[in-house]
Amino acid sequence: MDFNTKFTPHTWPDHPEQATMEGKNKVVGFWIFLACEVVLFASLFATYLALKNKGPAGMEFTTQSLFELPLAFAMTMLLLTSSLTSVYAIYHMRNFNFKAMQTWFGITLLLGLGFLGLEIYEFYHYVHKGFTFDQSAFSTAFYSLVGTHGFHVTLGLVWISTLMIRNAKRGLNLYNAPKFFVAALYWHFIDVVWVFIFTVVYLMGVIG
């Protein structure tokens, strides 16, 4: 299929992301990548749970003394909402509405940036208190887990913004529809991981 075929809303396929062989392969391949990400994050979660609150004798840092619910709640709301806005972006992609899709992806980026800003603030705050990466087994496990998630958020922001800029003048076609779709999948996956982070790390950490 010629990837540069021009479409109208009437000729745009119902599932543009899987309308071509490349699109079908891309979506399946990306899901297999996400399955590997599940394993990666599981190893980090398991390590964190095993090493939680463990460190040198007399260590003053515990999950209860460090974590604050309002900050975790704000971060959760930002990321959850950004997941919905990327659903809106894909909804408009399927309706062949390029401008609306770009707008919703733009809002997703802003919410993601807000989340990242709060995470940087949080890490800065902990490091200021002396809770550095190599302070204890607990701190290393914590920063590895939450930091790997933060790295994924950063990568997602770079990825989506690059896609938006690269295709700004091209409009929608069957070449870039699968690209936008898998970027949205990636963003949802970041949210899936965060659901477990706020539950297992922050909520269960505050209780002890």
Partner 1 sequence: MSSHDTPIVAKSQAQYEYDRHHNAVHMRKQVVNFAIMIFFTFIAFAVVAADFSKYLIFPLILLLAGVQVVLQLYSFMHLEDKKTHFGGVIGFFMWMGILIAFTFFLAFLTIIWW
Give the residues lining the site for partner 1 (CB under 8 A). 1, 5, 7-11, 13-15, 18-21, 24, 27-28, 31-32, 34-39, 41-43, 45-47, 49-51, 54, 69, 72-73, 76-77, 80, 83-84, 87-88, 91, 94-95, 185, 188-189, 191-192, 195-196, 198-200, 203-204, 206-208
Closest CB 79 distance from partner 1, rounded Å: 10
Residue 29 or 130: the one with the smaller Cβ distance to partner 1 is 29
- Which residues have C-beta within 8 Å of that of residue 73, sequence separation ≥ 6? none
Residue 162 or 199: the one with the smaller Cβ distance to partner 1 is 199
Q: Tokens 């709640």 sit at which residue?
A: 73
Closest CB 70 distance from partner 1, rounded Å: 9
Residue 42 or 155: the one with the smaller Cβ distance to partner 1 is 42
CA distances from 6 to 11, 46, 103, 166, 170 (A): 9, 49, 21, 17, 10
Closest CB 115 distance from partner 1, rounded Å: 14
Residue 165 or 207: the one with the smaller Cβ distance to partner 1 is 207
Closest CB 180 distance from partner 1, rounded Å: 13
Helices (H), the chain: 21-51, 63-66, 69-94, 98-129, 137-166, 177-196, 204-207
Residue 85 or 135: the one with the smaller Cβ distance to partner 1 is 85
3-class secondary structure per residue, 28-62: HHHHHHHHHHHHHHHHHHHHHHHHCCCCCCCCCCC
CA atoms within 13 A on the CB side of 64: 4
Closest CB 127 distance from partner 1, rounded Å: 25
Residue 39 or 165: the one with the smaller Cβ distance to partner 1 is 39
Closest CB 75 distance from partner 1, rounded Å: 11
Do 44 and 148 contact (CB within 8 A), yes or no?
yes
Joined together, the tokens standing for residue 158 give 């770079």
